[in-house]
């Protein structure tokens, strides 16, 4: 085997509570991750030497700044692999959208190189490497539909939720930098909003009651158009809408795919095309 192709799924944060800032610059948080069907495709191939990376969408100016490149560099150095790799990424997950696309690409790169070169590093070892690259990377290596994350999101515990959620997911067409959102965070406000536990729903009906994002108000202040997207969803569909992660993507929950498709069609008929001309709209599900 000289190459391996992997699916790199996106995520949403069904719950995101943010606590104190750490000495390393990250924040301690509590989150409920959900892995969803929107995904990139990552192909990792053996090469005589070096690391090369191609992507069908402009992500960063320099290849070395791509988190997948950094992932390849880290595992090859750690495992003392004498050969190189070629990485090809076909993007479908919007960039800097609060959906973890870059982190998932990095996780797929670590997994792919581990298999391709028979490094035989276990899941725990790969997750430790992933945490050095970004807070969301370990979740994609953890390989479970739902997980509760603590610390910076890298201390993970499987959430035994035997349910499939469907989402109407909207990316409004612009990036939001995670570091800018956290920089503006009012920790006093977020710490008054609740405790350090998540009560997991017993069935689908309980999810809409627990979804929450401590960063949402800040994101809306920084980019008011996100608040308008949420208002469009609420007024058109009568459903709770929420920002995922540090934004700007927004989602609503549904019990079935048919319900989500109907909601999308209703949204399109209710919101003029000129107001949603930059939107990317997806129907996604738990995977």
Strand partners, 89: 42, 55
Known active-site residue 11: yes
Does an H or E element contain 217, and which? Answer: helix 216-222
Does an H or E element contain 16, and which? Answer: strand 3-21
Q: Which of 40, 91, 105, 136 is catalytic?
A: 136
Helical H segments across 38-158, by residue range = 67-78, 101-116, 123-133, 137-142
Q: Which of 11, 17, 70, 91 is catalytic?
A: 11
Q: Tokens 């991750």 map to which residue?
A: 33
Q: How many CA atoms lie within 13 A of 86 on its CB side?
A: 8
Integer CA distances (angstroms), 20 to 29, 192, 199, 240, 264, in order: 8, 12, 21, 28, 38
Rounded to 5 degrees, φ, ψ at 59 are -110, -50
CA distance 93 to 178: 16
- Give yes or no for a cis peptide into 248 (omega within 30° of 0): yes
Cβ atoms within 10 Å, residue 232: 19
Q: Is the four-CA dihedral 243, 251, 102, 32 of positive or negative sign?
A: positive
End-to-end CA separation in angstroms for the chain: 27
Nearest to 120 by CA among 79, 156, 69: 79
Known active-site residue 123: no
Q: Which residues are catalytic?
A: 11, 136
């Amino acid at each position: 085997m000289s190459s391996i192709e992997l699916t790199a799924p996106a995520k949403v944060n069904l719950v995101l509570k943010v606590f104190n800032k750490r000495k390393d610059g990250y924040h301690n948080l509590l989150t409920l991750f959900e892995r969803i069907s929107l995904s990139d495709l990552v192909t990792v191939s053996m090469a005589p030497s070096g690391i090369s990376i191609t992507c069908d969408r402009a992500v960063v100016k320099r290849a070395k700044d791509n988190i997948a490149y950094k992932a390849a560099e880290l595992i090859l150095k750690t495992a003392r692999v004498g050969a190189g790799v070629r990485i090809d990424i076909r993007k479908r997950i919007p960039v800097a959208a609060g959906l973890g696309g870059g982190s998932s690409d990095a996780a797929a790169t670590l997994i792919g190189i581990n298999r391709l070169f028979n490094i035989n590093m276990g899941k725990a070892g790969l997750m430790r490497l992933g945490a050095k690259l970004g807070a969301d990377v370990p979740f994609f290596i953890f390989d479970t539909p739902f997980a509760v994350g603590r610390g910076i999101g890298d201390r993970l515990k499987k959430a035994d939720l035997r349910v499939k959620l469907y989402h109407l997911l909207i990316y409004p067409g612009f990036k939001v930098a995670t570091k800018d959102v956290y920089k503006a965070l009012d920790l006093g406000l977020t710490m008054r909003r609740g405790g350090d536990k998540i009560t997991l729903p017993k069935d689908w009906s309980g999810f809409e009651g627990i979804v929450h994002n401590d960063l949402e108000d800040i994101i809306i202040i920084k980019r008011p158009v996100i608040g308008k997207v949420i208002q469009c969803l609420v007024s058109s569909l009568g459903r709770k809408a929420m920002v995922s992660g540090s934004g700007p993507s927004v989602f609503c929950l549904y019990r079935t795919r048919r319900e989500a498709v109907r909601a999308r069609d209703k949204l399109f008929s209710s919101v003029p095309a000129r107001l949603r001309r930059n939107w990317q709209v997806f129907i996604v599900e738990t995977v």
